[in-house]
């Protein structure tokens, strides 16, 4: 019995070194990519960035257009309240205050909706770019013989011959000729406490 266990033990020890060698990790062949440069130089990315800036400018213009009359009305109401010197405002002034508050709430709601849409648009643009970049990374790595790709901002130093940014930009221009700059409408969630049919 001891001889059988000893033989089995020797057989296993003879096999293990070759199994360990078979699983050795190859040496790293690293390439680097500048993602800031990729997303600022790809053609569709430039167009999308311009569209987002335009949306942000439109938002700011609308914010100012809503704020100016509200500010004027607010000052007028405050002057009327101050003129009462602590007396109770009449029904007309109270109605003006309520109307002002309603307009203010409506403006805030409109601006919040616009701001959310711009944020959703930005996320949608980033998703379209990211969806195309994944396969491009693999293609560029295969083409250049790399088995690892690192963002250049995560490195301390690298040689210029390791930079594949231009390859990635070229491939992204081919794979993503245009970007949709308006996110699809958000899916409406169904109320959870609807009665279920039988």
What separation in angstroms does the CA of 6 have from each of 17, 18, 19, 153?
A: 18, 20, 20, 55
Q: Compute the residue count for the chain.
A: 198
Structure confidence at residue 156 (pLDDT):
84
| Domain ranges across the chain | 28-175
Structure confidence at residue 186 (pLDDT):
72
CATH code, residues 28-175: 3.30.910.20
Structure confidence at residue 158 (pLDDT):
83
Rounded average pLDDT per 10-residue block, the chain, 198 residues: 46 51 78 93 95 96 95 92 88 91 95 95 95 95 92 86 94 95 74 52
What separation in angstroms does the CA of 193 have from each of 189, 196, 198?
A: 12, 9, 15
């Amino acid at each position: 019995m001891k001889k059988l266990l000893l033989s089995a033990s020797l057989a296993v020890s003879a096999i293990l070194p070759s199994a360990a060698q078979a699983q050795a990790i190859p040496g790293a062949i690293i390439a680097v990519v500048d993602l800031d440069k990729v997303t600022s130089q790809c053609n569709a990315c430039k167009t999308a960035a311009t569209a987002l800036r335009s949306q942000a400018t439109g938002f700011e213009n609308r914010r100012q257009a809503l704020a100016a009359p509200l500010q004027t009305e607010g000052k007028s109401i405050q002057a009327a309240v101050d003129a009462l010197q602590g007396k109770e405002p009449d029904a007309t002034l109270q109605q003006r205050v309520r109307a002002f508050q309603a307009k203010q709430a409506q403006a805030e709601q409109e601006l919040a909706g616009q701001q959310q849409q711009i944020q959703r648009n930005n996320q949608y643009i980033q998703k379209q770019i990211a969806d195309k970049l994944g396969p491009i990374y693999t293609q560029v790595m295969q083409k250049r013989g790399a088995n690892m790709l690192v963002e250049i901002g995560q490195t301390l130093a690298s040689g210029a011959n390791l930079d594949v940014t231009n390859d990635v930009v070229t491939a992204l221009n081919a794979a993503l000729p245009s970007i949709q700059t308006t996110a699809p409408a958000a899916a409406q969630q169904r109320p959870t406490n609807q009665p279920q049919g039988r």
